[in-house]
Amino acid sequence: MAFWGPWLFNGFWALCVLLVALPQAAAQWSTPQGPYHSPIVTLASDPTSTSVFYAAHGNGGIVKSEDGGLSWASVGPTNLTFRQLVVDPFDPQVLFGIAAGQLFKSSDGGATWNRLGGFIGQALNIGLDPVQPGVAYLVIDRAVVKTADGGATWTEMLRVIAPEIVSNITVDAAASNTVYVGGGGGTPVRWSSDGGATWSAAQAGLEGQSVIDIEVDSQRAGSVYAATFTGVFHSSDGGGSWQRSGLATGFVSDVVADPRRADHVMASHRDRGVLQSFDAGATWTGLNGGLEELQIAALLPVQIAPYAWLAATTRNGFFAVGEGESTWSNISHLEVPAKVTALNWSADGEILFAGTDRQGLFTSRDRGQTWQISSSALDGLLIQDLVTTDTPNAPIYAVAPTRVFRSDTAGRTWNELRLNLPRDVAVHGVHLHPQIPNTLFLATSAGVYRSFNGGSTWAQADLADQSVVSVTLDAIQPDIIYAASASGALFKSVDRGIRWDDVSASLAVGAVAHVVADSRVGGRVYVAGEFAGLFASADSGATWTPLNGTLGERTVNRLFPAADGALYAAEQTELSRSRDGGASWVALAVGATGNITASAARSGGLVAVGIDGAGVSVAQFSDTDNGSGGPGGPNLPGGGGGDDGGGAMWLMLVPLAALYGARRAQRKS
């Protein structure tokens, strides 16, 4: 006993020392880098400075940059959504803005705003005279009014009769008494050479067009451009006659002439992004390299070395390009991460997809460090789920509340499936069979629907009186299907949905929130119970075993398996993993400061989570990883136990501690 006592005592302390000294095996979660939601509406530049810019945010408010667009800070109230901003060329502290059909003016750089009156109608567009201080023109309902005192008083200069309209105005910087007004309904363009006192129609060659924007080339006398719903038109005689340019199709929202170079003009095209012409519009080439998305809110010529142009996009922030360059640089975001509602990896694990709450679908090829808009086909939709398999070149499906889309091109293009569901039927999810290609089942508010041809045609698989929130197929026995309903019941079919049985009684859990079959083991199925923990069945649902374990009886928002057999459970702010069928769990220590809104995992422990208010964070866990630090933070100790690696460390440390204690005891004896 004299020997064994010191041996055990000293071995114990040696074990403690080793436990403290050896680092935890851990993977670092990446710092979230978006995807960002930057719904910029318009840009404005300070004509007296090369580095001061303003941008109106689509969610309300204004942001200002004083370093050429590299960083932005909010200024002024956030309850105004400006559709246009203009900086006074004679006083950079004076700004005009149009919001909700009203004209506002700020005299302190955008900090405070006052509504201007003196005219009757909805304010649509304002143009400032660059030569005469205090002079401005305002387009209102079917009229143009003018001020000579900075907006204190207004005088009507033009009125048109329905169905004609006027919508935008521009002042010739080289001859400020020359003003152009764009519109439609009969007369697309009007112009005045005497400050609006008299007007002439300028429509030869523009018949039937609606002009969205007009731009005057200050470097070429008489050169004027008009953006329309069918491309860009050009006039070389001051608007007397117009010719269709080489950009002859599609909706062009913005046309901008280069103030430094004659005949160089840029255009923002709804489907083709940014295009430019060096020959007054005769020919056009795309300028979209590095742009990440084609939805351009505004273009501005700039003089901030090394950049020549600034572009604001509707989601991914601000981009700049140098003179003669072909690739834009993303110089800054507005730090407003989109709310990610669905995540998944491509079949090869090279692409991470992020669906958002009505802010588009994004893709990342560098594990979430940079993001690109996948396709405008999904704009404005709430993406509830993204579904695919690990099969090479497998398609990916995007689920919206009443629609389902399929992409066979890694998200570059999407085709909407014709569901032919009854009116007002909601789609809750899609399940793909991992072994049978093109076999899909829909969970809907009117039961289960199935397709055996990749979604080309659908047939109802009964449960029409149930709102089904989750559906899953047995990995080995594809005739066996499980469905969880909104009422908390669990149903099972052994004939691919022809007949269903309510098996809730055998489960003995209050309400079923989610059901998922094991991705590799036939007959094995998992259920997440609302406020009742997890349950598993190894006999196709005949009997069930509680899997609470280290998770406890907590609410699991999503339960999903990876193709390698690992099982993941997402709670409010934590993600856990099990590799022993749910018997034991290890927290992956996301360290989220916000709720986890979406999650996805691939074979080999590649995991992504969407964190509300932060963006997407990614980590790669090995077989011995026990957890890690949160996004961008230091490593935190993870859990152990089960076959997730914790036991392996103990088995290694105990012999070392025993050897150290034994040798110390021998020396003392």
Res 661: pLDDT = 39
Q: Which of 29-38, 249-258, 371-380 has the highest mean pLDDT?
A: 249-258
pLDDT at 5: 40
Judged against a pLDDT cut of 60, whether residue 128 lies above it is answered with yes
In a shared domain, residues 489 and 512: yes
Q: What is the CATH number of the domain that holds 133?
A: 2.130.10.10
In this structure, which amino acid lies at residue 589?
A: A
54-58, 142-146, 276-280, 664-668, range with the lowest pLDDT: 664-668
Residue 392 lies inside a defined structural domain of this protein: yes
How far, in Å, CA of 197 to CA of 515, rounded? 73
Q: Is residue 31 part of a domain?
A: no
Q: Are residues 387 and 251 in the same domain?
A: no
Whether residue 358 is predicted with pLDDT greater than 80 in this model: the reply is: yes
Q: DSSP character for 643? A: I
The closest alpha carbon to 657, from 13, 6, 25, 23, belongs to 13
Which residues are paired to 330 by β-bridges? 319
Residue 307, classified by CB atoms within 10 Å of its CB into exposed (0-12), middle (13-18) or buried (19+), is buried
In a domain, residue 45? The reply is no
What integer pLDDT is reported at residue 19 of this predicted model? 32
Mean pLDDT value across residues 30-47: 90
Where does the pLDDT of residue 634 fall: very low under 50, low under 70, confident under 90, or very high at 90 and above?
A: very low
Cα Rg, the chain, nearest whole Å: 32
Q: Given 332, 366, 395, which residue is the final one in a domain?
A: 332
Q: How far is CA 264 from CA 34, 65, 171, in A?
A: 34, 27, 19
What's the farthest any 2 CA atoms get from each other in the chain? Answer: 114
Q: What's the mean pLDDT in 618-630?
A: 70
d(CA 238, CA 407): 48
- Does residue 8 sit in the same domain as residue 157? no
Asked if residue 37 belongs to a domain, the reply is no
Same-domain check for residues 262 and 302: yes
Average pLDDT over residues 186-198: 95
As to burial, measured by CB atoms within 10 angstroms (0-12 exposed, 13-18 middle, 19+ buried), residue 342 is buried
Confidence band, pLDDT 50/70/90 cuts, at residue 21: very low
Is a pLDDT exceeding 50 seen at residue 660? no
667 and 614, same domain (yes or no) = no
* Digit-coded pLDDT (tens) for 463-509: 999 999 999 999 888 789 999 998 889 999 998 888 999 988 877 66
Residue with more model confidence, 649 or 138:
138
Question: Which three-class secondary structure string do you get for 311-367?
Answer: EEECCCCEEEECCCCCECEEEECCCCECCEEEEEECCCCCCEEEEEECCCEEEECCC
Helix axes 647-668, 4-21, angle to 10 degrees: 130
Highest-confidence segment of 55-69, 136-150, 308-322, 326-340: 136-150
pLDDT at 505: 81
Q: Which of 332, 351, 369 is the last residue of a domain?
A: 332
Number of domains in the chain: 3
Q: Quick one: average pLDDT of 154-169?
A: 95
Tokens of 327: 């690739």
Residues 546 and 663 in one domain: no
Query: Is 44 among the domain residues?
Result: no
The answer on 205 and 139 residing in a single domain is yes
3-state SS assignment for residue 376? helix
pLDDT bin (cut points 50, 70, 90) of residue 126 is very high
Q: Are residues 471 and 550 in the same domain?
A: yes
Supply the pLDDT for residue 565.
85
Residues 289 and 429 in one domain: no
| b/e burial code for range 215-253 (CB count within 10 A of at least 16 → b) | bbbbbbeebbbbbbebbbbbbbebbeebebbbbeebebb
Tokens standing for residue 85: 């901003």
Examine the domain organization and report whether 566 and 449 are in the same domain.
Answer: yes
What's the pTM value of the predicted model, to 2 decimals? 0.76
> Is 29 inside a domain boundary?
no
Which of 306-310, 538-542, 571-575, 630-634 is predicted least confidently?
630-634
Q: Tell me, what's the pLDDT at 152?
A: 95
For residue 233, the enclosing domain spans: 82-332
Work out the average pLDDT over 428-441: 84
pLDDT attached to residue 528 = 85
222 has a pLDDT exceeding 90: yes
Contacts of residue 467, defined as CB under 8 A and 6 or more positions apart, other chains included, come to: 426, 428, 444, 445, 446, 485, 486, 487
Average pLDDT in the chain: 85
Question: Which of residues 332, 362, 380 is at a domain's end?
Answer: 332
pLDDT value, residue 573:
86
More confident residue, 657 or 552: 552
Is residue 250 within 8 Å of residue 259, measured between CB atoms? no
Q: Are residues 295 and 242 in the same domain?
A: yes
Instruction: Name, in order, each residue with C-beta under 8 angstroms of 229's C-beta and a sequence gap of 6 or more.
Output: 209, 210, 212, 251, 252
Cβ atoms of residues 514 and 484 within 8 Å: yes
CA 364 remoteness from chain centre: 11
**111 part of a folded domain:** yes
Phi, psi for residue 599 in degrees, rounded to 5: -160, 155
Asked if 222 and 235 count as a contact pair (C-beta separation under 8 A), the reply is yes
Is 611 within the bounds of a domain? yes
pLDDT-wise least confident of 84-93, 318-327, 330-339: 330-339
Average pLDDT on 229-235 reads 97
Residues 643, 629 share a domain: no
CA pair distance 244, 233, nearest whole angstrom: 4
pLDDT in tens, 514-559: 899 988 888 999 988 766 678 889 999 888 888 766 665 667 888 8
Taking alpha carbons only, the member of 397, 536, 493, 369 closest to residue 454 is 397
